[in-house]
Amino acid sequence: MKRRVVVTGLGAVTPLGVGAEAFWTALKQGRSGIGPISSFDADGLPSRIAGEVSSFDPAEYVDPKTAMRMDRFCHFAVAGARLALEDAGLPEGRELEAAGVEAGRAGIIVGSGIGGMSTLENQHRVLLERGYARVSPFTIPMIIPNMAAGILAINLGFTGPNACTVTACAAGAHAIGMAYDLIASGRADLCIAGGSEASITPLSVAGFCSMRALSTRNEEPEAASRPFDAGRDGFVIAEGAGILVLESEEGALARGARIYCELAGFGMSCDAYHITAPDPESRGASACMLEAMRSAGLGPRDIGYINAHGTSTPYNDRSETQAIKMALGEHAHGVAISSTKSMTGHLLGAAGGVEAIATALAIHEGVIPPTINLEEPDPECDLDYVPGEAREAAVEAALSNSFGFGGHNACLAFKAWRG
């Protein structure tokens, strides 16, 4: 029999604030975390705006000497994990076993779409300007995406399953889904899972600009991310991390943990269509949602909320709307949907983690965050996207969608926990 999996800790590092409480408060208020790029000189680029994590000091979470040997995306991951563990009421490091969690049955699955891009760019510059002998010996460990999961295991002493999902913008959701499978199948009792990304760099932004994927609404940063709006012109790149603590229900109850909700199902699929564009017939995204509901024992009418992938790109928003209609049938017009990317921007490989946190809190608190900047709906996007203001609603079950370049699709199904 499949074991029940519950969410007991949340750690958010976002453009809206650090910590789940700050993040959630901003979402409910409909605040935007988008502004002009400050981390490098973006003059000359078509898109000069981003969702940056401001006022973040890695020294609050990582020893300064150690932090120098880690990329920014690892800083975010460590911060998110420490915040999630604190929120779950769990000790750090090897003291975890004193709380009844066996190290060999504690896993870490943290995804990243790109990994240490800033380190890659900086060290390539060193190579060209000063020669190979001046390239840091920490270059490779700093850029590889799996290092966030590896560093967390080293710091925490978790010797159970450890992996990194690298599936573009679906990486964070795939990581959470993998952790869910490990606990549900009995191969782990507890997992730290989510995604981390720090790709607001000259090369990343230039690359996305060349694809014409980014919004160029530079004079109105806060209004640039506008999912499902007729005037949307691309996504806004962002950074941060979203990390959850997942536990078996029996383990959480045994230690008296506060439970936010149940992670009840997971679906994944591939469009098998194009390297960047979604399938215009939305078959892969729809199949992914259907599988998440099936594995959770849910039907379309059970779903009260969907945290949409909702990137604010012309193709994605139309395709996702169509996928929701295919998966939910007539109920598609009766479900509340929102894109929190309207406020955070697109955190790429961390998006699924951050949006899973938003979905868990929507169930736990009975509040659906809004889609801001939705002023003139696209006629082809004709569902209830909770425009402008948060909405109080009892949510018994919800889905969180994440779709990535390469056609990678992931969907997480959450339920209210009733014991």
> Could you tell me if 274 and 233 lie in one domain?
no
Rounded CA-CA distance 346/2 in Å is 33
Q: Which residues pair with 400 in a beta bridge?
A: 307, 412
Task: Please tell me which residue in 75, 174, 309, 364 is annotated as part of the active site.
Answer: 309
Q: Evaluate whether residue 248 is within a structural domain.
A: yes
3-class state of residue 10 by DSSP = strand
Q: What is the signed CA dihedral for 305, 307, 313, 319, rounded to 10 degrees? A: -50
> Could you tell me if 197 and 309 lie in one domain?
no
Tell me which residue range forms the domain holding 225: 5-254
Rounded CA-CA distance 196/24 in Å is 18
Q: Evaluate whether residue 14 is within a structural domain.
A: yes
pLDDT of residue 55: 85
> Smallest Cα–Cα separation from 88: which of 290, 309, 250, 247?
247
Cβ atoms of 158 and 95 within 8 Å: the answer is no
> Could you tell me if 249 and 280 lie in one domain?
no
Cα–Cα distances in Å, from 67 out to 25, 61, 128, 138, 155?
29, 9, 25, 12, 13
Of 205, 228, 254, the residue at which a domain comes to its end is 254
> Could you tell me if 213 and 284 lie in one domain?
no
> Could you tell me if 210 and 279 lie in one domain?
no
> Could you tell me if 229 and 297 lie in one domain?
no
pLDDT of residue 98: 78
pLDDT of residue 419: 78
Beta strands in 206-302 (DSSP E): 240-248, 261-270
> If you search the block for the tokens 């020294």, which residue do you land on?
59
Strands 190-197 and 106-111: parallel
pLDDT of residue 95: 80
How many structural domains compose the chain?
Answer: 2
Q: Is 331 an annotated catalytic residue?
A: no
State phi, psi for 195 to the nearest 5 degrees: -145, 160
Q: If 0-12 CB within 10 Å is exposed, 13-18 middle and 19+ buried, where does residue 35 land? A: middle
Q: Evaluate whether residue 152 is within a structural domain.
A: yes
Rounded CA-CA distance 63/167 in Å is 30
> Could you tell me if 175 and 271 lie in one domain?
no
> Could you tell me if 241 and 355 lie in one domain?
no
Question: Cβ neighbours of residue 148 under 8 Å, at least 6 residues apart?
Answer: 73, 74, 77, 78, 110, 112, 164, 196
> Smallest Cα–Cα separation from 290: which of 329, 327, 330?
327
Q: Evaluate whether residue 259 is within a structural domain.
A: no
> Smallest Cα–Cα separation from 190: which of 242, 248, 149?
248
pTM over 0.95? The answer is yes
Alpha helices in 312-396 (DSSP H): 314-328, 341-344, 351-365
Task: Please tell me which residue in 74, 164, 169, 209 is annotated as part of the active site.
Answer: 169
> Smallest Cα–Cα separation from 109: which of 266, 305, 342?
266
Q: Evaluate whether residue 260 is within a structural domain.
A: no
Output the domain CATH number for residue 375. 3.40.47.10
Please tell me the number of Cα atoms within 13 Å of 17 on its side-chain side: 13
> Could you tell me if 215 and 347 lie in one domain?
no
> Smallest Cα–Cα separation from 28: which of 282, 360, 367, 337?
367
> Could you tell me if 232 and 106 lie in one domain?
yes
Report DSSP state, residue 319.
H
> Could you tell me if 70 and 200 lie in one domain?
yes
Q: Is 169 an annotated catalytic residue?
A: yes
Q: Evaluate whether residue 230 is within a structural domain.
A: yes
Task: Please tell me which residue in 346, 381, 408, 411 is annotated as part of the active site.
Answer: 346
Q: Is 309 an annotated catalytic residue?
A: yes
Structure tokens at 308: 């949409």
> Could you tell me if 32 and 104 lie in one domain?
yes
Rounded CA-CA distance 141/83 in Å is 24
Q: Evaluate whether residue 270 is within a structural domain.
A: yes
Of 254, 274, 301, the residue at which a domain comes to its end is 254
Of 254, 286, 305, the residue at which a domain comes to its end is 254
Q: Evaluate whether residue 261 is within a structural domain.
A: no
Q: Which residues of the chain have pLDDT under 70?
A: none
